[in-house]
Amino acid sequence: MIKRYRHGICLGAIFLLGLLLRLWGIRWGLPCPEHTLSLHPDEFLTVGCAAEVAFTDKIAPGFYNYPSLFIYLGSATLSVMNMLADPTVADWHFAMRLISAIAGSLAVLATYFAAKNIFGCRGMSLFAAAALAVAPLHVQHSHFATVDVFSTLPVALALLFAGKVLHEGGRKNIALAGIMTGLAAGTRYNACFVIFAVIAAWLMSPERKLRNLLLCFAAAAVAFVVTTPGCLLDSHKFFSDLAYESAHSADGHDLVFAGLNGFVYNFAHSLKYGLGSFLLGMWIVGLIAAALLKEKPAAMLWSFPALYYIALSASRIMFARYMLVLFPAAAVVVGYLSWGVARALKGKGRDMWLIAVVGGMWLTLTYTVGLNNLFCYPSPQMTSAKYIGEHVKKGESVAFFEPLWFYSPALHPEIGGTPDDRTAVTKSLPYDVTILSQNRGALKGVGRPKYVVESDYETADAERLRGKKIRPKDRKKVDAVNGDIADLKKNYRSVKIFMNELDIMGVKLFDARHLPHDMRYAAPRITLYEAKK
């Protein structure tokens, strides 16, 4: 009996593992009396827009830096919650985080069926599902009320129907692939690149009819407009926000990615830490093997990731989460290589290979659990705020490198929000406040502040860029920040460091400061300094 259903049992276990990983620690950084905004820097945007649509007569959210599908789902959820109870802002965040976690877990199942449709093998499909279930970045960002992980569900479904198009053709299959592409674009604009996998599948399908491809494009366009109706109802604001995002991508994100080559960084940093070294290696080797063996699905599994990677790497913004769109395709290829090699081997060779693959998955899971542990420790933002409140007297002179934000001590309930909000909140603290970004050179001389609070989010990039060839406007800030750092090291001593280690049961995995910028939200390093006497 068990043998008959063991495949389904394995798939169920993988799904439950993925769901557990995505729910474990999901309450991290939720709004509370100490900070009324989430410790995630972007959630106030998505949750705020969802609440505005839910509790006003607005149809379009009026915010289009992201498409609207996730916001509308959040809005519907908040409306139902409001009818059943009296939810708090923290409850709103939690509910929309659950949407991300559930969508991320369903993406695991969708990836299983995508691999099954593409390669026609259930063994490969199990390995593909397992790869996405434990993928570190996918698990970590499933904890957040943002669009990134949610977009991987329609991407995986688009690959699923592209697989059907590849082997069967059919207007229904290509229309469904188009709809899923439109839903993906309606969650994250650049997820529309999955259309290239559908086009590649159509080119190799049994019925290569142009009208079918046009049907796919039409279905994608309709799905996008239905999920982001603001593109028509609020077109001026829609195109204004798109222009802002385009300009932001061209200009960069302050110093965060200055001096970096996107093509190198996204591979050696975003994908390395996002997938883990084992899954990344398996993906690359699997892509090469599929191409060399002239596997029929190779073109669709190469085209979409390659074009997406080139487009994103040309940008000056290289958040690791931008690579999440590729994860379902990567997981399919990992499944292909894992089971394909196993089928080619016999006896002990096969056993050793499967042990190696399972071991690699286990090591990846270990790293993912370490990331989840960061959600369970008291945050440095809270522990540093408590210590400063107890040891720094009101009225003392205190300097901050930047206005308080998600990476800063939670010294005021209103940390976060817009730049103007952050500046106003910082200056309202019960201290004689100096903001160094607005008062360079304040750490030298007789009248220097007694204390300095530094987060490595504020200084690490300037230190990295010291002596590097960068744009003149970046050089000006780098030199200014490094000047303050030099004064800090000369005139101050470290009093207390607040940070969490990336570990499992006390065993450190590696320094969390090596993680990409948006994988460290739960692990900033905050240091309190006191002036030397």
pLDDT at 445: 82
**Element (H or E) spanning 453, and its range?**
strand 451-455
β-partners of residue 308 are none
Helix (H, G, I), strand (E, B) or coil at 144: coil
Tell whether the model's pLDDT for residue 417 goes beyond 90: no
Tell whether the model's pLDDT for residue 3 goes beyond 70: no
Q: What's the whole-number average pLDDT of the chain?
A: 95
Tokens 């001096």 identify what position?
Answer: 259
Quick one: pLDDT band at residue 527, thresholds 50, 70, 90? very high
CA distance 462 to 256: 9
CB neighbours (10 Å) of residue 390? 8
CA distance 217 to 36: 43
pLDDT at 4: 66
Query: CA angle, 143 as apex, 137 and 147 as ends, to 5°?
Result: 80
Tell whether the model's pLDDT for residue 1 goes beyond 60: no
320 close to 270: Cβ distance less than 8 angstroms: yes
Quick one: pLDDT band at residue 5, thresholds 50, 70, 90? confident
Tell me the per-residue pLDDT of 423-442, one tens digit each, with 9 for 90 and over.
999 999 999 999 999 998 89
CA distance 427 to 429: 6
Tell me the per-residue pLDDT of 18-52, one tens digit each, with 9 for 90 and over.
999 999 999 999 999 999 999 999 999 999 999 99
β-partners of residue 400 are 435, 453
| Beta strands in 126-225, from DSSP E residues, in sequence order | none
Q: Locate 136 and state its tokens.
A: 């570190």
CA distance 519 to 533: 38
Quick one: pLDDT band at residue 2, thresholds 50, 70, 90? low
Quick one: pLDDT band at residue 283, thresholds 50, 70, 90? very high
> Beta 526-531 vs 451-455: how paired, if at all?
antiparallel
Amino acid at 248: H
Tell whether the model's pLDDT for residue 184 goes beyond 80: yes
**Using CA of residue 246, residue 107, residue 370, residue 283, what is the dihedral sign?**
negative
- Average pLDDT of the residues in 159-187: 96
pLDDT at 26: 97
CA distance 519 to 500: 13
Tokens 């989840």 identify what position?
Answer: 372
Query: What is the torsion angle, in degrees rounded to the nearest 10, for the CA atoms of residue 420, residue 421, residue 426 and residue 429?
Result: 140
Residue 502 falls in which region: left (phi positive, over 0), alpha (psi -120 to 50) or beta: beta
Tell me the per-residue pLDDT of 191-241, one tens digit each, with 9 for 90 and over.
999 999 999 999 999 888 999 999 999 999 999 999 999 999 999 999 999
> Beta 526-531 vs 492-498: how paired, if at all?
antiparallel
**Using CA of residue 144, residue 146, residue 148, residue 154, what is the dihedral sign?**
positive
- The better pLDDT of the pair 447, 65 is held by 65
Tokens 């939670």 identify what position?
Answer: 410
Sequence ranges of the domains in the chain: 2-374, 380-531
DSSP 331: H
CA distance 161 to 179: 10
CB neighbours (10 Å) of residue 39? 24
Write the CA distances from 467 to 259, 262, 443, 458, 478, integer angstroms. 11, 20, 22, 18, 9
37 close to 417: Cβ distance less than 8 angstroms: yes
CB neighbours (10 Å) of residue 424? 14
Which of 23, 27, 22, 54 minimizes the C-alpha distance to 40? 27
pLDDT at 416: 82
Whole-prediction pTM: 0.95
pLDDT at 418: 83
119 close to 144: Cβ distance less than 8 angstroms: no
DSSP annotation string for 114-137 = HHHHHH--HHHHHHHHHHHHH-HH
Tell whether the model's pLDDT for residue 164 goes beyond 70: yes
Q: Locate 346 and state its tokens.
A: 């016999």
Tell whether the model's pLDDT for residue 451 goes beyond 70: yes
- Average pLDDT of the residues in 110-130: 95
